[in-house]
Chains A and B, each alone.
Chain A
Amino acid sequence: MKNKSFQDLEKELLKNNEDLTNKFLELETLLDLTNTINSQEDLKSLFFNILTISSSILNSSKGTILIRDQVSKIFNPISAFNMEDEKIKKQIFNTKKGFLNDLNQEKKVSIIEVDQHPNMSVFESEYAIAGPLMNKNKLVGVILLFNKESRSGYVNFDENDKKLLDGIAKQSSIAYQNILLLESLIKANQLNENIMSSITTGVIEVNLFGEIEFANKESLRILEMDTSDILGNHYHYIFEKNKNLIKIIERVELEKKSVFELDFELQSKKKKVMTNLSCSPVFNDKNDFSGIVVAIDDQSKINKIKSTFKKYVSKNIVDKLLDNEDSLNLGGKESDVTILFSDIRGFTSMSEKLEPTEIVEVLNRYFKEMIKVVFEFNGTLDKIVGDELMVLYGAPLENDNDCDDAVNTAIKMFESLEKFNAEVVKDGFKPIEIGIGINKGKVVSGNIGSDQQMNYTVIGDSVNLGSRLCSNAKPGELLISNFVKENLKKNYNFKKIPSIMVKGKAKPIEVWSYKHSN
């Protein structure tokens, strides 16, 4: 074997030194890549960093990363380096054909024969290398680098580049999966927070150490506390005024079984709150006890709603509304309702003869009896104006029997009035006489008014006709329109009377009369 000359040895040493430097640079860049991609929290910066580092290490002139859209399965550019991505965005890439089809089958880094893939022309490059981004053995993206640079122009990528890109693609796949996981975790947390803050049950989570780890908005409202007051503190401290609750939590800690308490009196910062309470153990995925969840339903709120509503509607309607809030229509909506009007005949002359306090006394006694009847037949008290009563049937809850309910109310009102009159006459007052009108038709129902004052009521022509019928009714008479008559399910003793003309209606309205006999 011929001995190498000194010059040859020197050249060889220099070449080895250059190779070593390049390897060192590659290693350092790979380390940088690891550090960079593991510290990224969003996809855009992750992919841009992957692209710049891989372009730098492989000496490519430009690059892009395509990511598969989960719905369309099309691979879209998410990042581009040293190239315009406008053209690429218009090109459809999927695994059905082209270089992505090959990559999807081989699932490893490949040097692409650009001439053999027409859809590669959009990249305007001579040479390309593709590194697959995988998730559970599925191709979810690709790192594409183009035109390896040299001092003599562009050259093709080689086996060493494949090895390097393989390392980069594998690390990038893991980082991509991690970010997707993190994003889904954040979304799930946000959803959880949104649910927790919107529900009307107070929820408090106590961890293994007895510290309060979570409290939703409603629980803070019930306890009259802030997040800063409650989070991280031991439940013994937070519930020090609620010894019974502490005992319940301790019982759950010990027995690992749920406890339910109805009508539990909870002491908040300033007041006592009537609640329904449940206290349940929480177990982790390994079935180990990991804490307690306390759920508090503020009954005072429900009771307040009930007592407020009961002034206007019957108890059974309140219960139905609370059971099924979807049936409640408080927004503006056109609906078919029955409207009853009643007023006292000769009220003006009667009031002239009485003292104001006496008027109020008689009216209050009268309305008390009448409203009792209204609620008996599922009516909703719309308003009381002077001596006039306006009642709705079929609103806010739809009711198939609304016409019969309204007519039955009117008949019972006449009957109750007889008893009422017998009482007031004994007290020295004159008997009261009333006339009633009922109509049925389309109205706009909802909360009507301003920010300062808003009432649930109905408006429309049908309301006006109901009022008009009431005005035309003689003492002890109930007048109903033909719309009501047609919808009655039972027979009543109605007689047809001459039609009446109503403002805004071209044709006269057919009217039916019922006369109450003593």
Chain B
Amino acid sequence: MSSLKNVEEKHDVIVVRTTGYFNNEAGDAVLGVCNEKMENGKSKFLIDMEDSTVVNSIGVSVLIEIIEQLQEIDGAMAFINLAPIVEKTFNIMGITKYCTVYASEDEAIEKLS
């Protein structure tokens, strides 16, 4: 089951759209994309989770790993289209302290780029 819907670049920001259960597998898939893009010098990532309405703590811990890596290279990660229950999990796990949740993709791209 593929966890990534698509990956595209907009104004130097890598937009990663996920799909389905955001668990270890989905986290690893996002980590793979981020690592590859970081090697190519990219440091701004926007994760669109419109089609991922269920997350588990392992998936979130992978996101934290990515954010740690991004902090080392002065990069940033942001999120859009979070389901309320996902946003709540992010808040509890503290992920939103290190990255922003935007109301729209346009706003996120503008702020990140």
Interface string of B20-36 (1 = CB under 8 A from A): 11011100000000000
Mark interface residues in B68-100 (1 if CB within 8 Å of A CB, else 0).
Answer: 000000000000000001001100111000000
For A52, the chain B residues whose CB sits under 8 A away are: 21, 53-54
User: Once bound together, how far apart are the Cα atoms of A413 and B92, in whole Å?
Assistant: 101
Count of chain B residues with a beta carbon within 8 Å of a chain A beta carbon: 20
Q: Once bound together, how far apart are the Cα atoms of A21 and B60, in whole Å?
A: 13
With contacts A59-B58, A149-B56 taken as known, whether A81 is within 8 angstroms of B89 at the C-beta atoms is no
CB–CB B56/A59 < 8 A: yes
Chain A positions 6 through 27: 1 when the CB is less than 8 Å from some CB of chain B, otherwise 0: 0000000000000001101100
Q: Is A32 an interface residue (CB 8 A)?
A: yes
Q: Write the nearest CB–CB distance from A127 to chain B, whole angstroms.
A: 14
- For the complex formed, measure the closest distance between the CB of A55 and the CB atoms of chain B, giving whole angstroms: 7
Does A399 count as interface, using CB distance less than 8 angstroms?
Answer: no
Cβ–Cβ contact A59 & B57, under 8 A: yes
* A61, CB-defined interface residue at 8 Å: yes
Q: Does the CB pair B62–A81 fall under 8 Å?
A: no
Name the residue on A nearest B85 (C-beta).
A32
A151 at interface by CB-CB < 8 Å? yes
Chain A residues with Cβ below 8 Å from B23 are 59, 61, 82, 149
Contacts of A81 in B (CB 8 A): 21, 54
Question: Are A149's CB and B94's CB within 8 A?
Answer: no
A159 CB, min distance to chain B CBs, angstroms: 18
B108 at the interface (CB under 8 A from A): no
CA distance A82 to B21 in the complex (A): 7
Residue from the set B24, B61, B89 with the largest chain A CB neighbour count within 10 Å: B24
Residues 52-106 (chain A) with a chain B CB within 8 angstroms: 52-53, 55-62, 81-82
Complex-state Cα separation, A62 to B93, whole angstroms: 22
Contact: A56 with B56, CB < 8 Å? yes
What is the bound-complex CA distance between A57 and B56, given in angstroms? 6
Q: In the complex, what distance in Å separates the CA atom of A330 from the CA atom of B1?
A: 63
Instruction: Find the A residue at minimum CB distance from B61.
Output: A151
Least distance between B85 CB and chain A CB atoms (Å) = 6
CB distance B93 to A21 under 8 Å?
yes
Query: Known: A56-B56, A82-B21, A149-B24. Contact between A24 and B85, CB under 8 A?
Result: no
Residue from the set B53, B55, B57 with the largest chain A CB neighbour count within 10 Å: B57
Q: Please indicate the chain B residues that have their CB under 8 angstroms from the CB of A28 in the complex.
A: 88-89, 92
When distances are taken between beta carbons in the complex, the residues of chain A under 8 Å from B24 are: 61, 149-151
Whether B56 contacts A21 by the Cβ 8 Å rule is: no
Residues of chain A contacted by B88 (CB below 8 angstroms): 28, 32
Please measure, in the bound complex, the distance between the C-alpha atom of A53 and the C-alpha atom of B55, giving whole angstroms.
9
- Give the complex CA separation of A21 and B90 in angstroms: 11
Chain A residues 248-285 with CB under 8 Å of chain B are: none
A56 touches B54 (CB 8 A): yes
Docked CA distance A22–B1 (Å):
27
Do A82 and B57 touch across chains, with their CB atoms under 8 A apart? no
List A contacts of B55 (CB < 8 A): 56
Q: Which residues of A contact B (CB under 8 A)?
A: 21-22, 24-25, 28-29, 32, 52-53, 55-62, 81-82, 149-151
Q: Could you list 23 examples of A-B contacts with CB < 8 Å? A: A21-B93, A24-B92, A25-B89, A25-B92, A28-B88, A28-B92, A32-B85, A52-B21, A55-B21, A55-B54, A56-B54, A56-B55, A57-B56, A58-B56, A60-B56, A61-B25, A62-B21, A81-B54, A82-B20, A82-B21, A149-B23, A149-B24, A149-B58
